[in-house]
Amino acid sequence: MERLIQADGQPHYGIFAAAPGLINYRDFVFRSPMGRRLGALAKWRRFHQFQYFGLISDQLIGGCALANLSLAGIGFVYLFHPPSGRMIERQFKLPLSLGTRFSQRPDDGLCELRSGRNWLRLENRAQPKEKRLLVELDDGTRIDACFSEVAPAFQPMYINTPTAVNGWVYAQKVAGVCCTGQVKSSLGDFDLAAIGAFAHHDWSAGYMRPETHWNWACLSGLAAGRRVGLNLSCGVNETSFTENCYWLDGELLKVDTVRFAFDRQQPLQPWHISSHDGQVALRFDARGLHQERMNLGILASNFKQIFGQFSGVLRPSGGPEVVIDGQWGFVEDQYVKW
């Protein structure tokens, strides 16, 4: 599929075998809930896009996100050192996304943000099929991290779902892939391959609900000698189809709807995550937190990304249980108005 939006101005929907070449949102026939056709200004204002790259190991955990919210460009990056509990984190908010650029080609483009002497860049390469994170901060922090979707073979989740009465959300997800590269920071210098780091990745764009909320869970690593990745969500991308899945040695296994049970006022207390089909039964114990709050009236966000350890089981149909024992990963609780 070269383009997500068809000739009639409507998107392709479903779970796809490969990524669209272009998220051609300008060709979308965007209408109000009452059916009035909306113009280019409304189409620009309501289109949002974000990309996230995370890395996980028992020596270092990191995350970097870039978001284009039309009225603002947002970026954050953090590094957490589990053995010491120390953390580096930076946040950037740029009006009208000035100082940023965003490609609408999920597998062949780049997104970046520049603010002073700080630079965040996410590169998606078609040949070879790789994703790369580059970060340079004015405090001397440097990140150069990369993963491949080819060697060893890996099948990402590609999905597009209807959203509310007049929107759609395209997303592609990766978790459970080996990560290579280097990190230099006040937390120490790390060779990501040498510390056994794994990566996960999210590329999402579309016409999301103007006021929305979601929970998300992700883990990446080794369990009983198998490469395991997990991507679960509740609150978005679940109209007609869901993005819920996990990976065993790169093979994508679909999961039904999921329930996140936790105390929103005490997010560092244990979380319990289970799927309706019984394939997932996990407990999450928090070890640290990255959070942001923003309330600009027309734009607002209450974001908590919590890193910690999962325990429990995955039960693939037709295969033996996979025991998850202290595997590092993330959960997320996000409210946003945009």
Q: Where does the pLDDT of residue 236 fall: very low under 50, low under 70, confident under 90, or very high at 90 and above?
A: confident
What is the pLDDT at residue 21?
97
pTM to 2 decimal places: 0.95
Cβ 92 vs Cβ 118: under 8 Å: yes
Cα Rg of the chain (Å, integer): 19
Q: Per residue in 312-327, pLDDT tens?
A: 999 999 889 999 999 9
Contacts 24+ apart (CB under 8 A), 233-237: 233/258, 234/258, 234/259, 234/260, 236/163, 236/169, 236/208, 236/209, 236/212, 237/159, 237/161, 237/169, 237/171
| Strand, coil or helix: 170 | strand
* Residue 140's pLDDT band (cuts 50, 70, 90): very high
pLDDT at 80 over 90: yes
Under the banding of pLDDT at 50, 70 and 90, the label for residue 238 is confident
Which pLDDT does position 217 carry in this prediction?
98
CATH homologous superfamily for 14-337?
AttH-like domain (2.40.370.10)
Q: E strand or H helix at 45, and its extent? A: helix 40-46
Q: Could you read off the pLDDT of 250-306 as tens digits, one per residue?
A: 999 999 999 999 999 999 999 999 999 999 999 999 999 999 898 988 889 999 999
